[in-house]
Structure 1
């Protein structure tokens, strides 16, 4: 296996409230030196929740996506706050964005997006045994919650408004888990919150 490149220098390029861009001067094992730019990732990561109700429907949300300048369908998601583990963050985000909490939460897998340019990690969490519970979130407007039958995922994947790659990947992973017969995921039963 090739050794990781040596980091020669890290330089802050610019900062905003959300983004920190830095230049990385690297030397590869063959002696080649290159400068890369990346979005520096801080914090504890994020969660995306695949919440499935008793009717075998996944809870989608409709929210405004500034990057696309339009409303999109996606899954509840958010940052892991200081002092939280991923399961606590997932249950909090589910309550803030969809108005439900879960008694059963299971870690599905970690996803990355554009790893050549950023180190953002997203934990996919499966939420089951849902019950109504609403927490105040940081959304600027109420989010519309849309229950979608798991049996109709192929139709969802054709909807122009449902285009977020991480949400598509999360649903495909959960769908695959539901169809195979293997030992269950590591799960944490949550107490009533």
Structure 2
């Protein structure tokens, strides 16, 4: 295992919803560098893979301000203070898709950009769904789109399905389900 760089100092400043840190690092070969990293101010996030049945996942279509378009993807959101990833997944599923889940399984953590950001997202598989809606923070109802996992090859080529966590999560879930049937 490679030795981690030595942190000689850290300076911080506010960056909106993030805290920006500048690290003074020394690597094992003696090289010194300044790296910056972002820390989220929350308790993490979840991405939920809601399985309507053994072969069908539920996607949601919502407005994506970053690209000013509608984006198709998985249910996702932040973990509130005091919530487990499974509780957050169930709440977000009810708010965004109008379903609850009797079975919630946290499978793994996904990172967004680990070279400069500490943000982590918990991947949660939701099964045994039942209709239940909670009021959320979305300004309009989201379209719920069932999609068969055996048509994942078609989904990943759609322009409106571009979010990396959703793409990674569906491939992980598809393989996990294949090995656990």
Report the TM-score when normalising by structure 2.
0.93
Check the 8 A contact 1:108/1:173 in 2, yes or no.
no
Report the counterpart of residue 10 of structure 1 in structure 2. Answer: 10
Structure 1, unaligned stretches of length 5 or more? 183-193
2:143 is the alignment partner of 1:139: no
User: Per-residue deviation at 1:158?
Assistant: 1.1
CA distance in 1, matches of 2:40, 2:117: 7
Q: CA RMSD in A?
A: 1.6
SS for the counterpart of 2:40 is coil
Q: Provide the residue aligned with 1:43 in structure 2.
A: 42
2: CA distance, partners of 1:76 / 1:20: 26
Cα contact 2:94–2:100 (8 A) shared by 1: yes
Q: Which residue of 2 aligns with 1:95?
A: 94
Structure 2: tracts of 5 or more residues without a match = none
Measured after TM superposition, the shift of residue 144 of structure 1 is 1.3
Distance (whole Å) between structure 2 residues aligned to residue 75 and residue 29 of structure 1: 41
Give 1:65 shift. Answer: 1.4
**d(CA) in 1 for partners of 2:45, 2:99:** 18
**Residue 59 of structure 1 corresponds to which residue in structure 2?**
58
| TM-score, with structure 1 as normaliser | 0.87
Task: Give the whole-Å Cα distance in 1 for the aligned partners of 2:130 and 2:62.
Answer: 22
Comparing 18-27 with 67-76, greater Cα deviation is found at 18-27
